[in-house]
Each structure stands twice: as structure tokens, then as C-alpha cells.
């Protein structure tokens, strides 16, 4: 049996899809659907049960959960970078993660969890996932700090060789539609281009970057879950790893990729970046993959263009389309 927390969310539901691709349906999905549209991510997937996060948390504390657990994929967290309730983030992203990690290891299961590239802060310390540099990182927001605190706890408890933490970079792909303002620029660009015939990107407010030349490591969600499946198959591999392509691409590159997938000529307009985010805006991110590669991971990451093409042609053009157990 596998437990996927945040299993109705973007990466969580994609992981349920990945398990389905391997013929696995004995899955408990844990989430908080509330009044969101996340339920749509589950419609085409196969799993044994859904349980509300609060009910699951109560059963977790009482240890009233099935004896046999093959693995827990812990994607459940508050991922809002603008969340200001620090106590909530400490409870939800740190303490809950500790309890779930202890429980999983007690049962002999594999524990894989989502850390975050937000732990790297402004990137001044680089983007290497070298464990010895972990305590030098300075996240810029409480969300990133909550993820960083759990990473530090894993190290302090001597669990690096028993669990796998993943620092996802700029993930895009199907099943992100419920995320509203947090959706990827690929998803937003598709809608904007169809509506207005053009795409608006932020101007650069630094002299060393031209407009639209700010860079990110864009990674397709299908490749992210391929890494997670590889880690499930290799329980001997532990540590905290970056998950990205290892290539920094510009927002202009992303725009051109979406226009190309739509067979439209690029029309880009640059607009001022809101002042409230200018000081904390990252102009460059790029995942170092040396550590993951050195441990033997052979997942081949799609190029930005290939990922965008698959997303646009096979999902966004279809209503949008969702990942399903038969696809």
C-alpha cells in the first residue's frame, strides 16, 4: 500500500498517475479538497480510498493506520509563498512532516517528501544540493523556511540515508489547473495567447538582464514523478536532491515554445514587475543534478520545448485534459 499526501494536488496527483502506470492502485490519497477544483485531478485515476488530511492526521497520531505500508509520498503542504501565518506553516509543513516520517520508518516503508527550491533563497549561495552546505541557505519567505527546517531536522536525526527529499524547481504540466495564480507561466501563457494573441512578461529591473531574459530551470511534471518512481525502486538511495533539468532557460524561451506549439508567431509585451515582489524576485535558478546523477538516477529530462509541446497538444488543447490511469 502507498500513501500519497497532497494526492489531489498537482505533483501528488501526477504521482498517483505514475503509480497507476506501474499497475499500482492500492493507494490512499490524503488531501483537503474543500471548495477547490482539485477533485478533478482524481477523476481519471485509480486508487483505493481518499481521506481528509485532518482525519488522517488523527489516525496518524493514534497509529491507527494499516500495518503494511510500502511507501509514503509526502507532497502535502501549504505551498503559498505569500502565506503569513507562520504558526500554521510550522504545524502543517514541519511538525506534521516529522510525525509522518517517524511513522513511515517505524513501519519499514519508503519515505519520499517534497522539499523546495525556495530553500535556496535569492540563490546567492548557489543551487547545489550538497548536504554539507544545507545550513548556509537563507530562504526568503516563511514557506521556504518551513521546508528548510524539515530538511535540517532530517539531517539532525541522521535520516539522510533512509529518506529522500526533493527540491522541485519550476514545475509545469497537466493537473495544475486548480492552482489559480500559482499555475505555471506555460499554462497562463496558453490562455493569454488564445485570448489576446500575445503574451505579457515582466520587464527586467536589473541592468545585467534584458527584458524576458531572466532565467529559470523549467521541469515537466512527468519527469518529476519519473524521478520519484525511480527513488521508490531504489530504497537504498537516500538524501535531499534537486529535481530540475539542470538547464536554465529564459522566459523568452518559454514564450517562444508556447507560441511554437500553437503554431503562432511570437508576440511578447513586457510589463513592469509589481514593486512588492521586485526585491525578492529571482533572476536565475538552475538545479545542479550532479548528486542525483552520481547516485545512478537515469531519468532523462525533456527539453523545455518537448515538455511544452506535450502539455499543449495532449492536455491544454483538450479542455484542458487531465492525467488518467489509462493515458
Q: List active site positions.
A: 143, 179
- DSSP secondary structure letters along 194-231: HHHSSEEEEPP-STTS-TT--EE-EEEHHHHHHHHHHH
- Crossing angle for the helix pair 53-61 and 96-106, nearest 10 degrees? 60
Question: Would you say 12 and 80 are in contact if contact means Cβ atoms under 8 Å apart?
Answer: no
DSSP lists the bridge partners of residue 110 as 71
d(C-alpha 269, C-alpha 253), whole Å: 14
**Rounded (to 5) percent helix, strand, coil in the chain:** 40, 15, 40
Element (H, E) at 112: strand 110-114
Residue 164's contacts (CB-CB under 8 Å, 6 or more residues apart) are: 110, 111, 112, 113, 231, 237, 238, 239, 240, 241
Identify the three-state secondary structure at position 304.
helix
Rounded to the nearest angstrom, the gap between the alpha carbon of residue 302 and the centroid of all alpha carbons in its chain is: 16
Residue 266: DSSP 8-state: -
Backbone angles phi, psi at 113, to 5 degrees: -135, 160
Amino acid at each position: 500500500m502507498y500513501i500519497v499526501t497532497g494526492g489531489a494536488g498537482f505533483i501528488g496527483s501526477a504521482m498517483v498517475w505514475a503509480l497507476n502506470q506501474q499497475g499500482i492502485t492500492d493507494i490512499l490519497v490524503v488531501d483537503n479538497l474543500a471548495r477547490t477544483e482539485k477533485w478533478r485531478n482524481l477523476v481519471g485515476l485509480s486508487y483505493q480510498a481518499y481521506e481528509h488530511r485532518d482525519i488522517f492526521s488523527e489516525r496518524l497520531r493514534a497509529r491507527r493506520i494499516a500495518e503494511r505500508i510500502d511507501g509514503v509520498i509526502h507532497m502535502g503542504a501549504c505551498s503559498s509563498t505569500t502565506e503569513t501565518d507562520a504558526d500554521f506553516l510550522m504545524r502543517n509543513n514541519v511538525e506534521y512532516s516529522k510525525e509522518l516520517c517517524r511513522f513511515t520508518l517505524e513501519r519499514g516503508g519508503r519515505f519520499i517528501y517534497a522539499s523546495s527550491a525556495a530553500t535556496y533563497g535569492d540563490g546567492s549561495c548557489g543551487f547545489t544540493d550538497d548536504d554539507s552546505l544545507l545550513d548556509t541557505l537563507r530562504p526568503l519567505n516563511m514557506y521556504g523556511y518551513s521546508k528548510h527546517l524539515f530538511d535540517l531536522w532530517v539531517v539532525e536525526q541522521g535520516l539522510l540515508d533512509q529518506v529522500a527529499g526533493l527540491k522541485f524547481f519550476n514545475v509545469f504540466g497537466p493537473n495544475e489547473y486548480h492552482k489559480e495564480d500559482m499555475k505555471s507561466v506555460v499554462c497562463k501563457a496558453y490562455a493569454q495567447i488564445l485570448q489576446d494573441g500575445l503574451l505579457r512578461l515582466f520587464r527586467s529591473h536589473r541592468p545585467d538582464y534584458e527584458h524576458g531574459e531572466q532565467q529559470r530551470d523549467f521541469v515537466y511534471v512527468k519527469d518529476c514523478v519519473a524521478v520519484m518512481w525511480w527513488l521508490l525502486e531504489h530504497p537504498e538511495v537516500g538524501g535531499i536532491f534537486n529535481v530540475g533539468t539542470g538547464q536554465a532557460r529564459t522566459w523568452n524561451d518559454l514564450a517562444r515554445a508556447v507560441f511554437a506549439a500553437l503554431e503562432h508567431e511570437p508576440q511578447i509585451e513586457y510589463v513592469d514587475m509589481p514593486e512588492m515582489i521586485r526585491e525578492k524576485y529571482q533572476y536565475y535558478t538552475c538545479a545542479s543534478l550532479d548528486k542525483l546523477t552520481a547516485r545512478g538516477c537515469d531519468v532523462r529530462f525533456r527539453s523545455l520545448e518537448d515538455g511544452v509541446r506535450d502539455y499543449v497538444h495532449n492536455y491544454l488543447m483538450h479542455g484542458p485534459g487531465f492525467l488518467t490511469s489509462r493515458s
